[in-house]
Structure 1
Amino acid sequence: MYNILILEDDCIQLKTLSEIIKQSSDVYKVYEASNTAEAMKAALTERIDLFYIDISLKNESGLKFAEEIRKEEGYKLTWIVFVTIYKDYMLPAFKKIHCYDYILKPYNKENIQKITKLLLSDDRAQVAATEIRENFIIVNVKNIQVKIFVSEIIFVEVFIRTSIIHTINGSFTIDYLSLKKLNSMINDKNILQSHRSYLVNVKYINKIEKTTDKTSYKIYFYNTTDTALLGNNYKKCIIERFNNAIGGDINDRI
């Protein structure tokens, strides 16, 4: 039996979503909550395997509830699917909560049943186990503790006292965190220093070119239009790793 908790303050939509899930399998037990207090009580009383959370509640914040759930030791990696009528909520939800997915209202029965079965299948249990083993760092972004998987980091840049971590899910700005400290936190063989102000993930490097003034090099990446710098002191190591990854010789082209 799998326990699913729905937080939705619209009574009709709450019942609709609940029935859709119940109809998809008799191994799902659905807990319904119309406010965050009810939802938290259910989450702390029962062991919830999957959350469906409406982001924009009338007098409360579903996003804030998800942040509180993530603070509970048993729910750091539990599947969360957000429900919203606003697409603009998607990126903040992924950044802050590391949720699995989001669905738009009005509900699509087939999509909901498909997502539910996927997340609560044996295959997704294996994915969950993999995520637990995967390296991640926790950083403070505007007083919110954000979890970032190391494998999703494209590159890092530091300016004076501000660090920006560019990932496949967006960029995160952290104050008062040095490049040296970040490098020790990340501690990954694929993420190397390329400049006194940059760390780069060699797996995401697309190409390396000389800058227009011919005095340094610029690194381009997959998944972002932002670029990083390559200093002469780090050039040999980065280019060797890049050549090994693409099976060519970039020195012939820069």
Structure 2
Amino acid sequence: MKILLAEDDTTIRQRLIQSVNNNIINSEITSYKSANETLCYAKQNKIDLFILDIQLTDYKGTHLAKQIRAIPEYKFTPIIFITALAGEELMAYRELKCYSFITKPFTEQEIYEALKEVQEYIENVSSKKKTIRIEQKCYIFEYDVNQISYIESYGKQILIHVKRNHTIEVDQIAGYSLKGMMELLRDCQFVQCHKSYLVNCNEISRIDKSNNIIYIRENEEPIPIGNKFRELILGER
């Protein structure tokens, strides 16, 4: 699990890092003092959990959370707030889909419980399987959407890049448009990044912001980000 922490208090930051390392197996935590640094890192890497202090040095953690939620792949990613401000809590729950709070001053047990709840939530979501069926002239293809890395429009066909046996294979599908595929996947974590590409947000390994490129896990071919979709993907104006 990749965790991104934004906390400007050195003592609290070290406590949280230690708690994560002690309580979540196979976790990787990165921390920053400022909201801006945190946002930049989130855009370049795939994060599974955000832990955000509400009061940061450059601007509020709630504003940072809004910027994070504007990035499609983080629309439902769990966020835990670190706060001493009770008034911020209700707003965050309503507007930012905050998963949990850790209220200052906090105990080790409170940190542990918040982290374990999020870990169980992520594992539960990951275990749910959703399939789509695509009928062709001679075959019916059935896909676990979690195994689809990305979808490409190629001439009059759709190319579905799907993970099978630790490699990515390509199925050629006739009679479907990219718009039609997006409709099939409307409740899933897919986003259009280019006029010819849909990508599975959960399969993004990193985003090269300077070159407008997305990289997918287990795939060496870069996927372009079209100018029309830059704001949607990067949360920029």
Aligned residue number for residue 85 of structure 1? 84
Please identify runs of 4+ aligned residues in structure 1 that moved more than 6 A. none
Q: Is the 8 A contact 1:77 1:128 kept in 2?
A: no
Matching of residues 183-194 of structure 1 within 5 Å: none
Q: Give per-residue Cα distances to partners, 1:212-242, cap 9 Å, x unaligned.
A: xxxxxxxxxxxxxxxxxxxxxxxxxxxxxxx
Q: Is the 8 A contact 2:17 2:29 kept in 1?
A: yes
TM score, norm. by length of structure 1: 0.47
- Alpha carbon RMSD of aligned pairs, Å? 2.1
Distance of 2:87 and 2:104 partners within structure 1: 13
TM score, norm. by length of structure 2: 0.50
Distance of 1:129 and 1:105 partners within structure 2: 33
Which protein has greater RCO, CA pairs closer than 8 Å, 6+ apart? 2
Q: How many residues align?
A: 129
3-state SS of paired residue (1:120): helix
**2:87 is aligned with 1:95:** no
Uncovered stretches (5+) of structure 1, i.e. residues with no partner: 133-254
Aligned residue number for residue 16 of structure 2? 17
Distance of 1:128 and 1:27 partners within structure 2: 16
How far off is 1:26 after superposition? 3.4
Q: Give per-residue Cα distances to partners, 1:84-106, cap 9 Å, x unaligned.
A: 01111110111110111111012
Structure possessing the higher radius of gyration over alpha carbons:
1
3-state SS of paired residue (2:5): strand
Uncovered stretches (5+) of structure 2, i.e. residues with no partner: 131-237
Percent identical residues: 27
Cα distance change of structure 1 residues 128 and 63 upon mapping to structure 2, 3 Å threshold: farther
How far off is 1:75 after superposition? 0.1
Distance of 1:93 and 1:65 partners within structure 2: 11
Matching of residues 3-14 of structure 1 within 5 Å: 3-14=2-13
How far off is 1:74 after superposition? 0.5
Distance of 2:31 and 2:17 partners within structure 1: 7
How far off is 1:124 after superposition? 4.2
How far off is 1:29 after superposition? 0.7
Distance of 1:26 and 1:126 partners within structure 2: 16
